[in-house]
Structure 1
Amino acid sequence: MTVRQAISLPIPRRRPRPIPTTPNHPVIIIGAGIGGLAAALELAASGHRVVVLEQAAAPGGKLRTVSIGAAEIDAGPTVITMREIFDALFTRAGTRLDDHVTLIPLAILARHHWRDGTQLDLLADPAASEAAISHAIGAPAAAAFRRFRARSEAIYRTLDASFMHNPAPSLIGVTRNAGLTGLAAFRAASPFASLWDALGTCFADPHLHQLFARYATYSGASPFAAPATLMLIAHAEQAGVWRIAGGMRRLAEAIAGRATSLGAVFHYNTKVAEILVEHGRVSGIRLQDGTTLAASAVIANTELGAISAGALGAAARAAIPPRLRDAKRSLSAVTWQVTARVSGFPLSHHNVFFSADYAAEFAEIARARLPTDPTIYLCAQDRTGDRTESPPTTPERLLILVNAPATGDRGTPDAAAIAALWQRVTARLAAAGLTLTDIDAGMTGPVEFHEKFPGAGGALYGRDLAGWRDPFQRPAARTSLPGLYLAGGSAHPGPGLPMAALSGHFAATALTADRR
């Protein structure tokens, strides 16, 4: 599907005065990440005039593709979960998700390898996962997994409506709306404990303890600080994981394409310099080239740190409460987009090679250092299960990721540190039996992420989840500045494709309600 490219905006000889805002002026959305795209689609479907301004050359934000030679490699999210959120998004726009993208379910959710040689597949079929755990680790571990799965589902059911689908949740509201059964599940989740500590009560086996602790990194957090309620991610994955034929960017193109068909206009390679205000409310925006555009409202699908630093002007900065301006950053990453011939280790689509000492790994990151012994995520993008879709003699497309501190605005880590990390990564893969040859690679680290998404030092997930309070500290869609709304991974309900899509839904819903 081709997304309509709008013509370049004219550059005026002098700065014009903003036109007084009226409801007939469009809603301007800053940023075509998933949150902004979801908001654009919902607003266009409900009859609003919508203009989306994106500084990159294509939609998607962190849902991006990198070209290595002729190969296109997903360099951000590699799958979708909670597909019901995207089904509902397209249904509200009068169509079906399946009419726009081809979703391929994963039978193997992830293949895991530890330094002691243990290898374990987590599977879409829970019974098959239990059998695999029993074979690899033992029957007691399989029974513990069965109990954990029930606990994860109970937490998910409790928080789905009261937190994730609630546009402005609070701890009191969550407990009030959970009901007796939900409240018992919420208490059983040890909500005030860390994920690591809570998992210690679920698993005596260190392999499963580390495996499910890794889910904290899906929100950019350390498992030693993140709240235990993140156990719900296990249920979200167990409910289904899909990749998209043709690459993940097809999802962004599908949303943008449907929004365009409903009248939304997209301007790419267009950077916003300031949100304009008249008479105490948003009146429009000023582009970096000096052009001004009137708006009836603005949705900022940008890093909260960038707004807090004044990247969209003083009025937008003032709309961010001071307590949210200097929030601790979530994790960044060092990623390599690779084409290589692969042999040895039997890769699946998702593969995780764990470090020997998880606590030491995250302690180093907390000290703003790259980990000496990192946990490695490897996405083999030509594979479904054990099958290679391209001939095994040809290069395969790989995304390799290591967690890193968000220090990109300090210019670190430098090239030498990245090169040394790459040597440690390839040595760890070789120790697991995986050999890469004929390598062609690109790299994106904290410095590059900071340049692409300013305001967060390369942090990829908004504010850090350093305790049970932090999930409630993300800003809601409405701000104190009338006409300004927030969307994206920095806003509630948080990072990840489904959560960002929900944030766009909340922004569109709030704007529509306020307009009424």
Structure 2
Amino acid sequence: MAIANPAHRPRRPSAIVIGAGIAGLAAALRLARGGMKVTVLERHAHTGGKIRTVASPAGPVDAGPTVLTMRHVFDDLFAAAGARLDDHVTLIKQDILARHFWSEGGQLDLYADLEASVAAISDFAGNKAADEFRQFNARTDRLFRAFDAPMMQAATPRMMELVGHVLRQPGLIPAMAPLSTLSRMLERQFSDPRLAQLFGRYATYVGGAPHLSPALLSLIWQAEAAGVWVVKGGMHKLTEALTQLAMDQGVSLRTNTHVDRIIVKNGTAAGVEMDHGTTISADTILYAGDPCALATGSMGDDLKIVAPQTATLPRSFSARVHSFAATPSGPELAHHNVFFADAQRSEFDDLVAGRMPRDPTLYLCAEDRGQGTPTPKLERFEIISNAPPTETHTPPMDLDRWHHQIMQRMADFRVTMSPTPTLSTITTPQHFAAMFPETQGALYGQSPHGLTASLKRPTARTPIKGLWLAGGGTHPGAGVPMATLSARHAAEAILSGQTSTSTSARTAMRGGMSTA
């Protein structure tokens, strides 16, 4: 029997993934499953990126995203790795999508069941408001279905193709309200201003203000209406599962490893250099961070031609995030709770002007609720308040005053915490700017303001051969599901052309780069 000569075995093409956030992990998993030798380099001591935790007496508290939507994206990811999502994390579907509070105007729950939401809105604001909600739901459902395939599922959406797609569907343009902002459309849609305020909050899911964001963003409601899942134990359990699955597929993970620059030779990405001077060569480089870091030259001057628009376009909002453990008192909380500002517009005027809102809307996640188990006495909480982005790493001077303001605002809604959380539990935009350089602390990449903002995002392919992008700053945009979709777009493109990419990269590598 003939024995194969190992020297004649084809070399597996190699890939370096920079960043182990949700997009980096998802892309690494797909690339490894596709036969590539994958190394993930992460500057922090942990994986997950913005899906992160802080310690508390009740255990790790999420300090980033809190729930899972668009579950099919993650079912698809695990299936692509030959696994089942349910075998690796426990997901609990929520009957109550969110509980909403107004200081003068009651409380409203929205439900996974449409008819339950209609009934709740009818009780809250009357039959007319319930009818308006039905119309809004039908409108946004049509928009979501119309733009899912040509926009979110498409690796490279193009304006002319989208225009043709819209023109072939009579009635879609009025549903889009292309000349309206989200807030103007909602003011026409709902006679009760509280409902316009509620659905305007979806602009903040991508870091924008409703009075400056396109009406098309109303379709975000459908992503939540299709189902909200709590990850048992916290969102970090999802990235922990992906990390382990990727390593089981042979992915090499290096944490506490900072990439100083991406090496480009003859117009082709050829490897990376770490801050201690060591270099690693690879056929493919996937940058899974904010592309603004490339456009500003922080990863090397050769990279400034990548996503240059991100260096000049406005950045999205950031946040101040309180993550702590306490025993609450006051109204019954759901997993998702929103305490609305009394004057919506002033909040966003402050944010656009670069100020912390004087009258903020507060999002409170009661992380141990909705888990299908008895609520412990000491619970884990995350409070999020929108904040402007910043380039500075200097701690803000107003943090003590702001902390007291937030605690008083919660007390106005009769919600108190014992013990009262301290300043040490707050993550600020300054912290985010330090943790994720070149982002200006923005949590969602570039701003979503303007009708064509979504088409200005960079896509997976770059002008530099062998260099690809993925993450929340890349098409199709911010949020855990979207960043995961961006990883799929990048990985599929890389795997479909890995032979030619590998050949050109190896040619560029001739010249003696060391391999770590």
Same fold, judged at TM 0.5 (above): yes
Counterpart code for 1:239: A
Q: Please, which of 165, 168, 171 is the counterpart of residue 180 of structure 1?
A: 168
Are residue 270 (structure 1) and residue 252 (structure 2) matched?
no
Q: Please, which of 45, 49, 74 is the counterpart of residue 61 of structure 1?
A: 49
- Is the 8 Å Cα contact of residues 464 and 470 (structure 1) preserved in structure 2? yes
For the residue of structure 1 that corresponds to 2:355, the secondary structure is coil
For the residue of structure 1 that corresponds to 2:497, the secondary structure is helix
Are residue 52 (structure 1) and residue 33 (structure 2) matched?
no
For the residue of structure 2 that corresponds to 1:131, the secondary structure is helix
Are residue 456 (structure 1) and residue 439 (structure 2) matched?
yes
The equivalences for 1:95-494 within 5 A come to 95-178=83-166, 180-181=168-169, 184-321=171-308, 323-384=309-370, 389-391=374-376, 394-407=377-390, 409-411=391-393, 414-415=396-397, 417-441=398-422, 442-494=425-477
Cα separation, 2, equivalents of 1:288 and 1:500: 27
Alignment correspondent of 1:27: 15
Structure 1 residue 319: deviation in Å? Answer: 2.6
Cα separation, 2, equivalents of 1:162 and 1:410: 38
Structure 1 residue 252: deviation in Å? Answer: 0.8
For the residue of structure 2 that corresponds to 1:273, the secondary structure is strand
Structure 1 residue 26: deviation in Å? Answer: 1.7
Q: How many correspondences in the alignment? A: 488
Cα separation, 2, equivalents of 1:193 and 1:253: 42
Alignment correspondent of 2:483: 500
Counterpart code for 2:332: P
Counterpart code for 2:370: T
For the residue of structure 2 that corresponds to 1:79, the secondary structure is coil
| TM-score, L = length of structure 2 | 0.92
Sequence identity (%): 43
Cα separation, 1, equivalents of 2:228 and 2:134: 19
Alignment correspondent of 2:6: none
For the residue of structure 2 that corresponds to 1:410, the secondary structure is coil
The two structures, once aligned, show a CA RMSD in angstroms of 1.7
* More off after superposition, 145-154 vs 185-194: 185-194
- Is the 8 Å Cα contact of residues 19 and 40 (structure 2) preserved in structure 1? yes
For the residue of structure 2 that corresponds to 1:28, the secondary structure is strand
Cα separation, 2, equivalents of 1:63 and 1:334: 15
Structure 1 residue 360: deviation in Å? Answer: 0.6
Cα separation, 1, equivalents of 2:30 and 2:149: 20
For the residue of structure 2 that corresponds to 1:201, the secondary structure is helix
Cα separation, 1, equivalents of 2:389 and 2:142: 33
For the residue of structure 1 that corresponds to 2:168, the secondary structure is helix
Counterpart code for 1:305: C
- Is the 8 Å Cα contact of residues 28 and 50 (structure 1) preserved in structure 2? yes
Cα separation, 1, equivalents of 2:184 and 2:394: 31
Closer/same/farther in 2, CA of residues 94 and 127 from structure 1, 3 Å limit: same
Cα separation, 2, equivalents of 1:510 and 1:325: 25
Closer/same/farther in 2, CA of residues 343 and 372 from structure 1, 3 Å limit: same
* More off after superposition, 85-94 vs 207-216: 85-94
Any stretches of 5+ residues in structure 2 without a counterpart?
Answer: 1-9, 500-516
Residues 64-95 of structure 1, C-alpha deviations (whole Å, 9 max, x = no match):
11112352111111001001011111111111
Counterpart code for 2:383: I
Cα separation, 1, equivalents of 2:328 and 2:460: 45
Structure 1 residue 347: deviation in Å? Answer: 0.9
Counterpart code for 2:331: F
Cα separation, 1, equivalents of 2:28 and 2:173: 34
Counterpart code for 2:402: L
Structure 1 residue 513: deviation in Å? Answer: 2.4
Residues 130-156 of structure 1, C-alpha deviations (whole Å, 9 max, x = no match):
111111111111111111000010000
Cα separation, 2, equivalents of 1:157 and 1:178: 12
Alignment correspondent of 2:513: none
Cα separation, 2, equivalents of 1:264 and 1:256: 9
Structure 1 residue 179: deviation in Å? Answer: 6.8
Structure 1 residue 388: deviation in Å? Answer: 7.5
Cα separation, 1, equivalents of 2:154 and 2:409: 42
Structure 1 residue 192: deviation in Å? Answer: 3.5
Cα separation, 2, equivalents of 1:23 and 1:201: 61
The equivalences for 1:5-20 within 5 A come to none
For the residue of structure 2 that corresponds to 1:463, the secondary structure is coil
Closer/same/farther in 2, CA of residues 412 and 184 from structure 1, 3 Å limit: farther
Structure 1 residue 117: deviation in Å? Answer: 3.6
Cα separation, 2, equivalents of 1:104 and 1:252: 17
Cα separation, 2, equivalents of 1:203 and 1:505: 37
Closer/same/farther in 2, CA of residues 449 and 229 from structure 1, 3 Å limit: same
Counterpart code for 1:452: M
Closer/same/farther in 2, CA of residues 85 and 92 from structure 1, 3 Å limit: same
